[in-house]
Amino acid sequence: MKFSKFFQYAYLIFAILFFYDAFTKYNNTREVAVAQLLLGVLAIFMFFFKRKFSKKFDDRNNSK
């Protein structure tokens, strides 16, 4: 289960990278990088989804 917890935080790292990329593109060209912003939001959503799912999975295994 420790392997999946690593990927939870990898989603946060990817979200930071996507937001940073969108921010730098906006500063350089004054164009909004919609794809990077959407991928950043998706990565944050996946972080919380995976965290909730893994907690539910751990609770189910501990109750047996």
Report field, pTM of the whole predicted structure over 0.95: no
Longest dimension (CA), the chain: 56
Q: Which residue, 44, 55, 56, is CA-closest to 9?
A: 44
Question: Using an 8 Å Cβ cutoff, are 15 and 45 in contact?
Answer: no
Question: What pLDDT score does 61 carry?
Answer: 73
Predicted local distance difference test score (pLDDT) of residue 13? 96
- Give residue 53's pLDDT: 86
Instruction: Express each pLDDT in 16-62 by its tens digit.
Output: 999 999 999 999 999 999 999 999 999 999 999 988 888 887 777 77
Interior angle at CA 15, CA 10 and CA 21, nearest 5: 125
